[in-house]
Structure 1
């Protein structure tokens, strides 16, 4: 019987396997080569060189132009807070608090507008202009209920470029807006977006409502406060004031105080240091008392307004014939007049009355609709300065 040679058998099998591998490799190369030829035919020679940047779009060019025009009007405000007294145990002085925010140049006299909360806890202020010069500033006026403040620097007129003032009464949701400021201390930062809402309401540090606030999705972060919100023409339409966020960082909703309010009050802050709000010169009942009177059916449930608690002698309310809360000789309690309307504006609470008064000036005559003994009557009143000495 012939002997078997396993080694010869294995060698023949290995040679066949090697030939198959070579055939597969050659076939793969051919397929890749043919694919490359087809791609080259349809798409041309691949170009791996770095291409030059394409021309900027008209929108980009316009945004760049607006930033160059408007940024010289925007300033960086730094504050130093009141130093705390020495710790009575360690006898170590506390480090003064420091803050940072934004603002904008109002006029060539050096007035700078910002938010009240930017300078609220400070006693020293400095303003850095777009040319990187820094100037000590003094506080000129504040309106905490509107979150507005005015500083003043003694910079040369040719270094001051006042911002262009716009109008906020005809704004529309969807308009393009630009915000310039110093978020997190980063100078001259631009963000863009749209007006995403109108007629919003935020609460000032005094608890007063600020109405007709602009809502925007332009990124606003800590440090943007006090900076301008601009329209697509580079005109001021609002002051960036607050964000809606649980983390205190931008979450897509920012708020700006409208420019119409700023244009009305900033001149008063420059002239008087405060808002000269016309007054009827009376003290009103707290709003929650009115709600209690309705619950107890002492007042009709369908009425709202501000009730006169006490009247200042010789004041506008006194001269107009308004009646205050009083007790007659028999010990009976008589409610004061409930002011329900001022001119054509419904009065629902103390805030709405103050808002209505702020639309007028001292000396204006207004018509009041009041509820007295469950009957509506009309009275005329001439507004006065607030008699804060009473």
Structure 2
């Protein structure tokens, strides 16, 4: 079969047409690109003037500027031994917050911030860093006192009160969340007299609940009221994710102001006591059997305040049955339903204070005055 050859003129015309179309398309594209990237003259936009800051903004700024220098950044480390070489290494452990307590170099923070550490360093707001020594600690209150080798003047926070706080009043937290130093967050008092299980397993009572953002690293930092007074120490958060969920807790300043002086003066906290023995499991069994709420006294120690007040413990009969003794139902008129609540109520007082204890004996309530002794 014979195939015809295309006309050379038509073939050249076709290629010429394609070339012209390609050139036109390229020129059109370059023309648009040149216009798109063509530089235009521009000047900064005019700044819109604003009036004075709102009154609450001014007060918040002033509060932070007044309080900032009182807050410190705490970093801890621990010594570990290499299994093979037996060499001792110091490795970072964690960070937290604290604040200046007085002009003698005492720093207050949470116990869990320094727990398990072999060394702690304190950085002040001016950037200076000092090695700190441990003065004393009270795990049951999650409080600790450090000391650094310098003195302060005018940097301690004014101390407020926590017994008269109201739900809804404004609070301000300053600390170092996630290592972001000197961070201010604000919120309100969300609830009062909360209980929370601490990292050591003990239950911390009388906590302030707040929705001011508190995150890891805030621990040990101050919680302030709108007057810039210390009303608590940020200690914990409730959060499934580990970050702030709007539920934070602070140790109330009334507790701090009672415990810290003892830690500075004695290195430990001496708990006020009635001189009785109690047990969680037996208490639940006895009170459930009697259908009452309170704390069952198991044993009264000899020569104790409870003994002098005539309190009775349980009696074990010959047939191995138990006759319940006195049940403590209130301290100074405030109800106690569990052992932690009893210890927290007693902890509101000092050794040597006289308190009124309400007991249930043979189904009838009685009140006895007891002078507290050291535990």
TM-score clears 0.5:
yes
Q: Distance in 1 between matches of 2:300 and 2:252?
A: 34
Aligned residue in 1 for 2:11: none
The Cα of 1:294 is off from its aligned counterpart by 4.8
Q: CA deviation at 1:171?
A: 2.6
Query: In the alignment, is residue 334 of structure 1 matched against residue 323 of structure 2?
Result: yes
Unaligned regions of 5+ residues in structure 2, if any? 1-42
Q: Structure 2 matches for 1:319-358, cutoff 5 A? A: 319-328=308-317, 333-358=322-347
For 2:116, the equivalent position in structure 1 comes to 121
* Pair 1:208–1:129, CA change in 2 (3 A): same
- The residue number in structure 2 matching 1:104 is 99
Partner of 1:272: 266
Residues 131/314 of structure 1: CA separation in 2 closer, same or farther (3 Å cut): same
Counterpart Cα distance in 1 of 2:44 and 2:72: 45
Distance 1:134 1:94 in 2: 21
Shift of 1:248: 0.8
| Equivalent residue number for residue 184 of structure 1 | 178
- CA separation in 2, counterparts of 1:248 and 1:201? 19
- Distance in 2 between the 1:294 and 1:185 partners? 48
Structure 1 residue runs of 4+, over 6 Å off? none
| Counterparts of 1:352 and 1:363, CA distance in 2 | 20
Does residue 144 (structure 1) correspond to residue 133 (structure 2)? The answer is: no
Query: Under a length normalisation based on structure 1, what TM-score does the superposition of the two structures give?
Result: 0.78
SS at match of 2:349: coil
1:203 is matched with 197
Match 1:309 to one of 284, 298, 321: 298
Shift of 1:327: 3.1
- The correspondence for 1:228, drawn from 222, 228, 231, is 222
Q: Normalising by structure 2, what TM-score? A: 0.80
Q: How many residues align?
A: 332
Structure 1, unmatched stretches of 5+, are: 1-46
Cα distance in 1, alignment partners of residues 49 and 133 from structure 2: 47
Deviations 1:191-247, CA, capped at 9 Å, x for gaps:
222333333332223444333322222221111111111122211121111112111
Residues 110 and 294 (structure 1), Cα distance of their counterparts in 2 relative to 1, 3 Å cut: closer
